């Protein structure tokens, strides 16, 4: 299969082979990035800094349906702008800060998010990049703070940890999970770089291994990022929110994600809500000799199957989330970006 890059406009298509570029960074190939190190497999790791704007005046209309957001009242929602990645062409919202790269950004430490990430990886390492769907999910978390406030939450396929970091500004505990020692180490570093944000709200982020292809959590103390029995008890006793962004690009993995969601929902003591972010990407397949959306179509079929599932204990209510909430981070909120909400409720 030859994959097509998610371009700034869907009528502009770039072919890919075995290397995948993050859609966030395709917008600004000429902007400056700070390379900080090579990871354990020799991939360059870059540092991007996001400036948080803590006032409502900085909010921007997303351009999606819903239009004017001036009637929204809250004192806390942070907004973020990528200081060294710029903005999508034509957005007019970029505020590149030349002095940020390599130096302490101006302003309070509570105004900055630092994320280490790669720029291009093989398909199996796409979690090391920052993806547009994670920014959409972060926007939603900041808009729906009451849903996350004081809760215990778990992110599946957290990648760089950006969405977990945002969630920890309001949640009590966030379990930030993925697989792969190098990816989890990068995620842990990003959590440490931004620990001041979680601490300000009293939140805690715990980076843990969670393999969708395994039924049980790893408890071997010799394995990095394994779970203690106390953490497992806390997870099952208190978690009410599950979330994931841009993890639906391979059919087998998508099946595993939904199996994991169902398994967790049945093991949790409380009813839970899952928030899923997905981008409808076009792929040219030799099998069809045409451009299709097979990964997205499979995702939708899994949603439908979950909604139809009847096991006597839980029922799953699935609904789309209209992307009309304020856009607090700089990215192109294209119509192919979607959010879905799944509510797992006991059958009465």
Q: Which of 271, 277, 269 is nearest to 315 (CA)?
A: 271
Per-residue pLDDT of the chain (348 residues; tens, 9 = 90+): 333 233 332 222 222 334 444 544 333 334 556 888 888 888 889 998 876 665 444 443 433 433 333 232 222 333 333 333 333 222 222 233 333 333 444 446 666 789 999 887 778 888 889 999 999 999 999 999 999 999 999 999 999 999 999 999 999 999 999 999 999 999 999 999 999 888 887 899 999 999 999 999 999 999 999 999 999 999 999 999 999 999 999 999 999 999 999 999 999 999 999 999 999 987 655 665 666 789 999 999 999 999 999 877 899 999 999 999 988 887 889 999 999 999 999 887
Q: What share of the chain is helix, strand, coil (3-state, %, to 5)?
A: 30, 25, 45
pLDDT for the residue 100: 35
Q: Which of 106, 104, 105, 82 is nearest to 94 (CA)?
A: 82
pLDDT for the residue 165: 95
What is the C-alpha to C-alpha distance for residues 157 and 124, in angstroms, rounded to an integer? 12
Inside any domain, residue 44: no
Q: Give how far Cα 181 sits from Cα of 52, 178, 214, 341, Å.
A: 30, 9, 16, 30
Residue 168 CB partners (closer than 8 Å, separation 6+): 174, 197, 198, 201, 203, 204, 205
pLDDT for the residue 108: 61
Where do the DSSP E strands lie in the chain?
Answer: 2-3, 19-21, 34-38, 44-53, 79-82, 112-117, 120-122, 152-156, 173-178, 204-209, 239-245, 272-279, 283-285, 290-292, 314-321, 337-346
| pLDDT tens for each residue of 217-242 | 999 999 999 999 999 999 999 999 99
pLDDT for the residue 15: 25
Inside any domain, residue 157: yes
Q: What is the pTM of this model?
A: 0.78
pLDDT for the residue 10: 27
pLDDT for the residue 137: 97
Helices (H) and strands (E) in the chain, counts: 9, 16
pLDDT for the residue 86: 32
Inside any domain, residue 62: no
Inside any domain, residue 180: yes
Inside any domain, residue 82: no
Residue 324 burial by Cβ neighbours in a 10 Å radius (0-12, 13-18, 19+) = middle
Inside any domain, residue 200: yes
Give residue 145's domain range.
126-346
Query: In total, how many domains does the chain have?
Result: 1
What is the C-alpha to C-alpha distance for residues 288 and 292, in angstroms, rounded to an integer? 8
Q: Indicate the pairing of strand 239-245 with strand 152-156.
A: parallel
Inside any domain, residue 41: no
Q: Which of 331, 282, 279 is nearest to 27 (CA)?
A: 331
Residue linked to tokens 């903005």: 87
Helix (H, G, I), strand (E, B) or coil at 20: strand
CATH number of 243's domain = 3.40.50.150
Inside any domain, residue 304: yes
pLDDT for the residue 65: 38
Residue linked to tokens 């087998």: 252
């Amino acid at each position: 299969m030859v994959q097509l890059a998610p371009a700034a406009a869907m009528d502009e298509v770039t072919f890919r082979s075995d290397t995948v570029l993050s859609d966030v960074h395709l917008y600004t190939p000429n902007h400056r990035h700070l390379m900080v190190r090579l990871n354990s497999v020799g991939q360059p790791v870059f540092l991007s800094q996001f400036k948080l704007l803590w006032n409502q005046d900085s909010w921007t209309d997303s351009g999606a349906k819903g239009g004017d957001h001036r009637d929204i009242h809250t004192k806390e929602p942070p907004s973020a702008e990528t200081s060294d990645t710029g903005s999508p062409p034509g957005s007019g919202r970029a505020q590149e800060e030349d002095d940020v790269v390599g130096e302490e950004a101006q302003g309070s430490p509570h105004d900055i998010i630092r994320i280490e990430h790669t720029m291009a990886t093989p398909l199996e390492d796409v979690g090391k990049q920052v993806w547009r769907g994670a920014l959409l999910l972060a926007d939603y978390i900041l808009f729906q703070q009451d849903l996350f406030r004081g809760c215990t939450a778990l992110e599946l396929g957290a990648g760089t940890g950006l969405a977990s970091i945002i969630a920890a500004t309001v949640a009590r505990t966030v379990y930030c999970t993925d697989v792969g020692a190098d990816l989890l180490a990068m995620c842990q570093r990003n959590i440490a770089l931004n620990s001041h944000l979680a601490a300000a709200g009293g939140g805690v982020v715990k980076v843990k291994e969670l393999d969708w292809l395994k039924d049980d959590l790893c408890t071997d103390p010799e394995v990095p990022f394994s779970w203690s029995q106390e953490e497992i008890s806390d997870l099952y006793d208190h978690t009410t929110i599950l979330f994931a962004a841009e993890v639906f690009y391979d059919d087998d993995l998508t099946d595993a994600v939904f199996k994991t969601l169902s398994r967790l929902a049945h093991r949790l003591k409380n009813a839970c809500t899952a928030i899923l972010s997905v981008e409808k990407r076009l792929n040219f397949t030799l099998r069809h000799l045409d451009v299709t959306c097979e990964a997205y179509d499979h995702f939708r079929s899994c949603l439908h199957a979950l909604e139809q599932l009847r096991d006597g204990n839980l029922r799953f209510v699935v609904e789309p989330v209209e992307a009309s909430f304020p856009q607090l981070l700089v990215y192109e909120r294209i119509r192919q970006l979607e959010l879905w909400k799944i509510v797992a409720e006991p059958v009465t």
